[in-house]
Structure 1
């Protein structure tokens, strides 16, 4: 039997809203809210653990709910009014769950191949950009995404939404710039900083060895540590009036050059 909630003043409803809106609450409880069928399916595939499931039978069929095959301690049936009060997205599928956050320590990273490809973003702040970077990383199947000096909670609902669930499909670690540089050097991974200073055109570099591509924010670029300690600084030539592009677009161009050099495009065109 599923527990029913029909009042927006219910304490469970208030808790769910707090988890949607406040990073402090997510960090304190070590949980976050996953909303939508696709996102839940990807979180399940990413081996996330769940506490409870919430659904609205006006919006989702019981067959679709059962097909999730999600393991939870409790299931709650919400009225349409309650569900719409909690839901972050305007177009919603009628299902959400509380999931436990993961640790994203550098020491937990594992690589399945000898020449891994990493994508590193320093101090990204806009959830939309972070989500787009994670989508690019998933599309190119990079081995890990590293976020240096993070400024935004990884489980921000806008990151989950804008990444279309790719926050669950990527291996992600966080740390300070210094910690990540030391990690790369210890693992003997070449790292290429996207910057205009003392840089070569990105197509001139050899990315067939263990490689990390490092991008900064459009406003501030990369910090001095990256520029000074990188294996090589690289830049993308531009013909217009400005000297920078959206960070996720730049990351995509550079990551796919690495994939091209490693034969990815040839393999997929055969």
Structure 2
């Protein structure tokens, strides 16, 4: 998942996926489920939340149950992130297609946010290569639904439930150029690795020109001020080469599972 695409003018063709439910036209609400959960502004009597939030827990629980059930037998997979605003023909889009294809050839399923742009590109590469193409959609104000290259799709209302699935069912992250949403997922993954909530989890940034400034800032500012350690900077691997990106993920994966019968492909080492 990355930042939402540019919003279009509301009309009768609006569509939103709310969990398993599809809403169109006048049925599309003005707010999202996440927004209503997190918005602390009062909407009547101050104790109204007592009659709503406890029930939200059941809906949140159902999202975890649905996600776990859908992905439990997925096998080795890699989550790929990038901008929703990338268009076909853009070098970043074509890079996403190559990444999706190469991951499938190396024996991995591909997980994305299921949207357009770079997410669609990675799903497309996986789908066209005959692999498993997964999309984890999210309810957004201008949600467009899952892209056409998703073979296995799960729609979520809550970001935190969805983000759990990105990490739990992946052997690593490959991050294409993206905006706020991509940065959110990138730094959440790095935080989980840094704090050892997850182990042996590679994070690869595709595009030295795009990500170089961020990595330089980590070294020149964050590291120099002592807010991160030298080892933290090494948690990311930056490359322009698709084979190198996939090899980085598979090398980490092999350290955890030296023999992995679910990996049906190989890449040059």
**How would you bin the TM-score normalised by the shorter chain?**
0.3 to 0.5
Higher helix share: 2
Alignment TM-score, normalising by the size of structure 2: 0.36
> TM-score, normalising length from structure 1?
0.36
Ranked by relative contact order (alpha carbons within 8 Å, sequence separation 6 or more), the top structure is 2
More strand by share: 1
